[in-house]
Structures are given as C-alpha cells and as structure tokens.
Homo-oligomer: A and B are copies of this chain.
Amino acid sequence: MKPYSNLKKDELKKELDTLLTEYKNYQALNLNLNMTRGKPCIEQLNLSMGMMDVLNSSVDLTCRDGFDCRNYGVLGGIDECKELLGDMIEVPKENIIIYGNSSLYVMYECVSRSMTNGVMGSTPWSKLKKVKWLCPVPGYDRHFAITEYFGIEMINIPMDNNGPDMDMIEKLVSKDESIKGIWCVPKYSNPDGTTYSEEVVKRFARLKPKAKDFRIYWDNAYSVHHLYDDNQDFLLEILDECKKAGNPDIVYKFTSTSKISFPGSGIAALATSEANIKDIKNQMRVSTIGYDKVNQLRHVRFFKDLNGIKDQMKKHAEILRPKFELVENVLEDELKGLNLAVWTKPHGGYFISLNTCLPIASSVVDRCKRIGLELTAAGSAFPYHKDPNDSNIRIAPSFPNLDELKMASKILALSIKIESILYLLK
C-alpha cells in the first residue's frame, strides 16, 4: 500500500469507509482489553508460587547474623537480602538499604525527605522559592506525578538512542542552582526501551551541578529484565563511575523485585554512597523500626543468589518475548509502508513505544477506548501529561494473552489508520 500522504482525497475517503466498517465490527464484539500498565500476567505470577513454600511453620526464621526476622529491628534490611539485591544491581551490600514493597515509594520518600529536611544538611527544598527537575522524555508517568505532587517545576530533556541529551543537562545543571534532580530509567527505559550508552553514564557520573543537593534518581527498574538471551543491552554501573569521578554522592539508585517475584509483594532497595546512607538513615530511624524482614528472608530463601534471579528472568522472558514480538509483527503487517507510525523493538523492559507521524495520539487512544481497548492515556509519558507532538503511545504487552494482544494490536493499528486519514482530510 502507498503512504496515505500520497493518496488523493477521494482515495482516502474510500479507504476510510473500509476502515470504519472494520472498526464497527470490532465495536460489536463488546471488547474489554487493557494494555495500560506494565503488569505481569498470571503465567508470570505463577513463576513465583514456590516463594509461598520456602517459609513455613517448621522453618527457622533467623537470618544469617542470628537475628529473629519475626521481631522488630534491623533498620536497613537483613544482610543476605542486601547482598542478593546488591549482586543484582552490581553494588556492594554496604551501599544498600532494603525497604518495603515499592521502589516508587522509596523515590517518593527521597523527594519528600529532601522537601522537608534537605539533603545532607542542605536547605529543605520546601523553604526555597523554586525547585526544578529534569525529565528525559518520553519517561515514566509515575515519576513525573511525584515531582508534580511536590510542586516541582519539570523541564523536558529530549532522549535519543544513547539516552538523554547530555549537552543540555550539563549546561542546565551547571548554572541553575534550583535544579535539584533528574529522573532516569537508564536500562530498557520506560517507555522507549533505551539503554543509556557508556558515554552517557560517564557524563552523568561527572556532572558538576551548581546545587550541591542535586541527585540523579537512577531508577534501575529493569536491570535484569531482558527479553532475549543473545541480544541484551549493557549498562555501565553508575555508583562505581561516580566514585571514580570523585562524585560519590550524586546518585540514588533504585531497584525492586516487583517484576521478578510478585509485583505487590516484592522488596525494594536503594543503593547509594555511605554518606547518603547515613543521611537517609537519620530519617529512616525516625519513621520506622524496620521493614518486613520475613519477606526479605522469603526472597533470599527462594532465589538463593543472583543465578536464581537470572533463571527466573529467563522464564519471564519466555513468556514476554512472544507477546512483544506479536505486537511488533501485527504493527508491521498492518502499518507497513504507510508512514503513519514508528515504534521501538526493545531488548528488554515492559513497553513498546509508538510514535504516530501525525499529531493524533490522543484521538487514537480515545478511538481505541470507545471499542473497549484501554491504552495508557496519551501524553502520560510527559510531564504534566503534555506531549508536545501528541504523538507518543505506550504499549504494555505483558498482561493480555496472545489472542487478546493480537486483537488489541490490530485495533490500535486500525485506529491509527482511521485517525491519520481523518487528520489528513481536515
């Protein structure tokens, strides 16, 4: 088929009629499909059911250093759990704090603490006239929601295949003391699936921000979340780079087991310098006596070590890979040669990111919704939900089954075609 832009008005109208008939056929099916969030599917959840067996009433719940995990105490997490997650994200256990079930919460808390009590003795951000934040786009909507909640002004930073625009970041942070942080998903980024290049990581580690309390929020959400055995992205470990660069305190690195074990019942962790850990623990010991150590122990006993996690991730990949490929193939089949959209083919993570060539993302998402396919709201990948090009659509293929995914992808492609023609006919 020829690109729509090469068609004449009456050809477009004829095509539109065909497409609308197809659309009506879907409408008649009363579908209820959901591709909004990066939610693991049931088969993935089943991979961790063994975790429900490793602890039982005849198992000793004492951790390695002799502490009874059932009782109060052990503020930063049990040693063997720090080691397990440390191995996973390539950080010594001394640099790890284990939290509750949500790394998002850990990030929220870091911003919140900085607002009320500053960073390593700096002025609390709530006492400043203005606090700004850098946001590589497209990015993770829940990150942007946190900074928005605290009234922090967000600045878009363009991304390319190597990561965010480092020239722009270096320039901005070096002269503006009100810029206090940046959101990064450095590996298999949400939604683009981009992994930051070595050069980008090194430039991050060497940043010299004017604000001494500037922190890189390094959300390593997909550190081991590969889709392929043979085609994996590599990310340079940033804490070590920062140390080498004489910049050890500039980064907070976050991780969790949410998409490794159970999404709601995993464990989250923060990795950072000793000085940051000391600073954070001053707050931590005020706010809690400790996080759920039984669940920490459960994870350690189930996974045993990094190899246990890697094995688990291979099983996740076997379930996810066909889903990603199905969506990619349907989009390819349906949209080939039409010049209507481009999309990513990530090597890991949870999303396919699609960009329409015309500014029609929100009408495409609406059109899908009207016949029972829910997609992440258009604009979600941008601060304040404002996609300057109204172009980005995030596709989350993990939860639906293959049949649902096939139909969903067809509906998405169909809606892109319809809305493109409607736009061209305007």
Tell me whether A264 and B53 are in contact in the complex, defined as CB-CB below 8 angstroms, given that A39-B71, A71-B45, A72-B37 are known contacts.
Answer: no
**Interchain CA distance A56-B53 in the complex, whole Å:** 5
Tell me whether A265 and B286 are in contact in the complex, defined as CB-CB below 8 angstroms, given that A37-B72, A116-B126, A126-B116 are known contacts.
Answer: no
Q: Is the CB of A108 within 8 A of B264?
A: no
Q: Is the CB of A52 within 8 A of B57?
A: yes
Segment at the B interface, from A143-151, A172-180, A207-215, A330-338: A143-151
Q: A256-291 toward B: CB 8 Å interface, digit per residue (1/0)?
A: 001000111100000000000000000100111111
Q: Is the CB of B288 within 8 A of A102?
A: yes
Q: Is the CB of B57 within 8 A of A288?
A: no
Segment at the B interface, from A5-13, A292-300, A412-420: A292-300
**Interchain CA distance A108-B263 in the complex, whole Å:** 25
Q: Is the CB of B104 within 8 A of A263?
A: no
Question: Within the complex, what minimum Cβ distance (angstroms) separates A148 from chain B?
Answer: 8
Interface size on A, residues (CB 8 A): 57
Q: Say whether A195 faces chain B, with CB atoms less than 8 Å apart.
A: no
Question: Within the complex, what minimum Cβ distance (angstroms) separates A293 from chain B?
Answer: 5
Residues 99-113 (chain A) with a chain B CB within 8 angstroms: 100-102, 104-105, 108-109, 112
**Interchain CA distance A74-B124 in the complex, whole Å:** 33
Please, which residues of chain B bring their CB within 8 A of the CB of A42?
68
Q: Say whether A49 faces chain B, with CB atoms less than 8 Å apart.
A: yes
Q: Is the CB of B124 within 8 A of A264?
A: no
Question: Within the complex, what minimum Cβ distance (angstroms) separates A209 from chain B?
Answer: 23
Please, which residues of chain B bring their CB within 8 A of the CB of A108?
286-288
**Interchain CA distance A71-B101 in the complex, whole Å:** 12
Q: A48-71 toward B: CB 8 Å interface, digit per residue (1/0)?
A: 111011011101010000001111
Please, which residues of chain B bring their CB within 8 A of the CB of A37?
72
Q: Per a CB cutoff under 8 Å, which of B127, B142, B146, B286 touches A145?
A: B286
